[in-house]
Amino acid sequence: MAKTLITSVLVLMLASLVWLVYTQGLRVFTKEQARQLVVKQTQPALPQVILLDATDSTHALRSWTMQQNKLVIVEFVYTRCNAICRSLGAEFQQLQAIIQKKNLQSRVGLLSISFDPEHDTPKVLAAYAARLKADANIWHFATVKNHNQLATLLNFFGITVIPDELGGYQHNAALLLTDSQGKLVDVADINQTQVILDTWLKKYASVGK
């Protein structure tokens, strides 16, 4: 009986240890929450992946965000998407409206990156931006110039893209915050537009001033 009790206690202790490791000390419970925590703790430097924007100009990602000297909120989309990308587009339209209303152009910018470079050429991106009524002083659109760098970019930002066998993709979505030092500093779920923007502006109050 005593031996059985000791064994049960040891099993329970081991299970508890595994759970603590998996949840990083009970602070996170999902893979997405774990990613958000790691980003906040490490704030990794953006890769110098070369992007091609809607004006057919090229930019090294980290240098581009640093040159803007502001907070840049990044999303990943593809222009043919009829599902989650529409929600992301609506989120960014709301963000743009807030930025315009509060005159935050010097402090916050938006960047939509397509993970479908074969289809989303600069011309297609420009048409997509026009449909969304994007303000070029606030909201930029780009994709990778070198298709071989796409995996590096997606892996860095934690974006999973899976072909759906219907010509489209299944992918996760998030609002990804970069700072004026060219670092990824925070990740937030979509549908938090007003709250998350206010939080980020307070947390990084000196950026863009």
Degrees to nearest 5, angle at CA 190 with 114 and 185: 75
- Asked whether residue 73 is domain-assigned, the answer is yes
Structural domain boundaries enclosing 18: 2-39
Between the CA of residue 38 and those of 33, 76, 90, 99, 174, what are the distances in Å?
9, 20, 27, 28, 15
111 and 21 within one domain: no
CATH at 83? 3.40.30.10
- Total count of residues recorded for the chain: 209
pTM of the model: 0.83
Distance CA 103, CA 24 (A): 40
172 and 118 within one domain: yes
How many CB atoms within 10 Å of residue 54? 25
Q: What is the pLDDT averaged over residues 16-21?
A: 41
Average pLDDT of the chain to the nearest whole number: 84
Q: Give 35's pLDDT tier (boundaries 50, 70, 90).
A: confident
Q: Give 90's pLDDT tier (boundaries 50, 70, 90).
A: confident
pLDDT of residue 30: 66
